[in-house]
Each structure stands twice: as C-alpha cells, then as structure tokens.
Amino acid sequence: MPTPSFLARLLLPALQIKIAPVARFGLILLVVAAVALLRAAFVTDILPYLFFIPIILLSALVFGRNSGIVATLAAAVAAGCSMSPTGNPLSLSVAQWSAQGLFVLVNVGIGFLAAELSRSLVLLENLAEGRREAIHRLAAATAKHTRLASIVEQSQEFIGYADLEGRVQFVNESGKRLVGVADPRLTVVEDYFTEADRWRISAEILPAVHSHGAWTGEVEFRHFATGALIPVRYNVFSLRDGDADGAVVGYGTVTTDLRSQKLATAQREMLTRELAHRMKNTLSIVQAIVSQSLRASGSVAQARDVIAARLTALSRAQDILTATSWTQADIHDVVQAAIAPHRDEGARFVADGPHIDLDAQRALGLSLALHELATNAAKYGALSTAGGCVRMIWSLDEKIFRFEWIEQGGPEVHVPESRGFGSRLLERIVAAYFDGSGVLQFGQEGVRFVLEGELVSHPSSAEEA
C-alpha cells in the first residue's frame, strides 16, 4: 500500500497528542503573542496578517476547529493593535475593519478545512492500520492453510472428503496411489469399498457418524485398476462449516493402509508356528540322543561325556542356523563347524564339493552325522593315527544330493559285532532327514559312509571347496 507522505508522517504523531482545552488555548495565545512581538520588532513593512496564517492553520490541524477559531481571533486582535495608530485594536478605520472581518472570515474557513483535513487524515490512517492488520491476519491464515495443505499432500495416509450425497470432492496423492484412482471427483464413497463391505456404509458406518461424529474400524478398499483387496483402518468423521450453528456439510477421512501391519502379523504367526515346530524337532533329537546314549553306554560317566559331545555338535549346527534366522545353512559352514574340534596342524581333512544351501533339518542331521563319524575316527579310525586322513565329497545332481565320508591311512578296520546308536543315527535318523538312505561300510582301507537323498534347494554357487 502507498507510503504516507513526509508531512503526514510528521503530522500524525502530533494528532495523537492529548492536551486539555485550557492548556491548548493558552498555548495558542502564547504563540500568537510571540509572533506579534517578533513582527513588531523586526518585520514592520509586511502585511500584519501574513505571519499569523501558519499559526491558525497548524492550530486547526493539530487541535481542531475551536483551536483554529481562537487562533484566528487572537491573530485579528494582534493585527488590529499593529494597524491602529494608538495601539487600540478597536480604533480602526472602516477599511481596516473590513480587512479585519475578511481576515477572520477567511481564516475561520481555513480552520474548518484544516480541521476536516486532520480528521480525514486520522480516519485514513485508522483505515490503513485496519487494512494492514487485515492483510497480516490474511497472510497468517494463508500461511497456516498452506502448511495444512502441505501436510495433507505429503502425508502417507489416505486423506479425503466427500459431500453429504457421498460424492468425493478430494483425495490426496497418497490416497490416489493407494487405490489407483486418477480423478476422485468422478467417484462416490461406495466405489472405494469391496462388495462385501459396501453394505456397512449405510447400515453401520454413516449411522455411527451421525450419532457420534466419527467411526473407526477395519474394512477393505479395492484397487480401481487391479481389483486387489487393500486392508485399511477406515476413520471417517463429520465435516462442519464455520458458521455458528456448525451444520454438517460432508464427511472426511484419514485412512491407514494396514497391508504392512497385516503382513508383519502373519509373519510373526508363521515364525511362532515354525519356532514351535523346530523346538519340538530339536527336543526330539535331544531325547533320542540322551536315551540311546544312556542305553549304549557302560557307565553314567561315559554316557555323560557322549551326551555332552553330541549336544555340543547339535549346538554348533544351531549357531550356524541362527545366523541365517533358521532358514538355511551353507554345507561348507556345517562341515567346518563339525570337524573343527578334530583339526590339528596336519592336513587331516579334505572337503570337496559345491556350495549348497541346506534347510534347517538337513543341516542339523548332517552336523550330527559328521560329529558321530569324526568322533569314531578319532577313537578307532583314521584320525587315531598320525598318517590317517578323511575325505568328504559331496555333489548335487538336480535334486539328488550325495555325500561321502572316506577314511584312509588308519588302522585295520573290523566289522563290529553289533550296531550301536551311532550306526542307527547315521543309517536311519540322518537318512530320514534327507528322505533318502545312509550306508555305513567297514572296509579294510577304512570306514566309508555314503548318504543319498533329496534337496529342495539348488547350489548357491559353482565354487569348489
């Protein structure tokens, strides 16, 4: 808006000054007397009225009409004194009286005009101030609305509103992406729901909104393009206008996509069931290890050592599976963990085979088998002598898995008269994990174990150990 002029900027503060009438009139008389004395002392050849006009104008502008009249009358008296030969303002000629009357008349008019001018100036300033305040409030409201609009547009929630007839008036960008709608203004509220949930709008949702002002619950939206079902938490509420009665003019919604939450819940339930299943399997393995070891051992101390060793092997396999959230384990990791307690400085073990991902049960089974084979080899087989070694070879042809344990350079091997739990574990329990067979052979050159079965997964790489 236009900037006030220099005169207005000087005059406006003066107009705000409040002085009592007596003091105001006294000040005017004092200023008029000072001007009259100044004129009488220094300027005697100029019209007697000329110096008083600015005083009259300022008095009317600053203090109003009455002050302008007082200044005019005081100036007329002072001028009369200067014009009279005797110094008496009443002893004037007819021409001087005429000049006095004309002076008073003109300056009273000037005073009235100046007073109205000052009044108009104050009114204009008040209007300007009101306009500035209105512009400031409008700017603040606009900024607030802009921030709110930005929040709505940037929100990840589905935000929209519809009129009382259910015609959709607005949906933010996140809402459009969620349901795949291009122009929401061509839709109605029912279009967003599946057939199974549409009846709830008139039967349940809108009655609750009318009664309580809002409704929140889980429903399913449909995707306009694909028809996919989208589980959401639908929060709908009444929209009211800004009038005093606050009449309802439509319905608003802030709806949350529940797909991630539903997926996480399903995954937790699946993991819980899987954990329970694996715990049962692990406990079954532990139970079998304990009972068979106790049955085959000659003493409690011997059974304790055997059970502890086998449980340690089981624990190492579980550590490998834990690193992959019990989904799978690389066969190289299983092999290395099983033979780690029997390694020495020599090349006692040779592992040859591709990287293969084993599921949890097969990884546990193979780990137990390797522990059993390595323990027997250390006590009675190839690892019990300085020159003995063990070769482990495995392969995967499509889904057929083959693993061989071959001992060489050990003492002469004799076929045992009876089969203990270790043999049954290798040939029956471990083989069952692979849906295949396990064959334990006692040849003169050393013990040989061959495991064949099926794998669901394929090799993770073609690298050889």
Strand, helix or coil for residue 194? coil
Residue 456 reports pLDDT greater than 70 = no
CB 311 within 8 A of CB 371: no
Would you list the DSSP string of 200-217?
Answer: HIIIIIHHHHHHHSEEEE
Is there a single domain that holds both residue 220 and residue 110? no
CATH code of the domain containing 310 = 3.30.565.10
Q: Supply the pLDDT for residue 449.
A: 95
Is there a single domain that holds both residue 176 and residue 209? yes
- Taking only the tens place, the pLDDT of each residue in 324-377 is 555 688 999 888 888 877 776 457 889 999 999 988 888 888 888 888 888 888
Share of the chain above pLDDT 70, in %: 77
**417 occurs within a structural domain:** yes
| Residue 460: band (very low, low, confident or very high) from pLDDT cuts 50, 70, 90 | very low
**129 occurs within a structural domain:** yes
Cα(433)–Cα(94) distance, integer angstroms:
141
Is there a single domain that holds both residue 386 and residue 407? yes
**147 occurs within a structural domain:** no
Torsion angles phi and psi, residue 233, rounded to 5: -100, 105
**150 occurs within a structural domain:** no
- Taking only the tens place, the pLDDT of each residue in 195-226 is 888 888 889 999 999 999 999 999 999 999 99
Is there a single domain that holds both residue 253 and residue 320? no
Is there a single domain that holds both residue 376 and residue 435? yes
Q: Which residue has the tokens 């236009």?
A: 2
> What is the value of pTM for the model shown?
0.43
| Residue 187: band (very low, low, confident or very high) from pLDDT cuts 50, 70, 90 | very high
* CA neighbor of 447 nearest in space, from 419, 418, 415: 415
Phi-psi group of 457: left, alpha or beta (phi > 0 → left; psi -120 to 50 → alpha; rest → beta) = beta
Is there a single domain that holds both residue 271 and residue 252? no
Q: How far is CA 324 from CA 329, 352, 360, in A?
A: 7, 23, 10
Q: Supply the pLDDT for residue 274.
A: 57
Host domain of residue 47 = 6-136
Q: Supply the pLDDT for residue 417.
A: 73
- Taking only the tens place, the pLDDT of each residue in 349-364 is 899 999 999 888 888 8
**224 occurs within a structural domain:** yes
pLDDT average, residue stretch 120-136: 77
Q: Supply the pLDDT for residue 345.
A: 47
Is there a single domain that holds both residue 280 and residue 230? no
pLDDT average, residue stretch 263-291: 66
Strand, helix or coil for residue 437? strand
**What is the tally of structural domains in the chain?**
3
Cα(299)–Cα(69) distance, integer angstroms:
133
**141 occurs within a structural domain:** no
Max avg pLDDT among 50-64, 121-135, 237-251, 402-416:
402-416
**143 occurs within a structural domain:** no
Is there a single domain that holds both residue 122 and residue 162? no
Helical segments of 297-359, H only: 300-323, 331-339
Cα(221)–Cα(234) distance, integer angstroms:
9
Is there a single domain that holds both residue 117 and residue 222? no
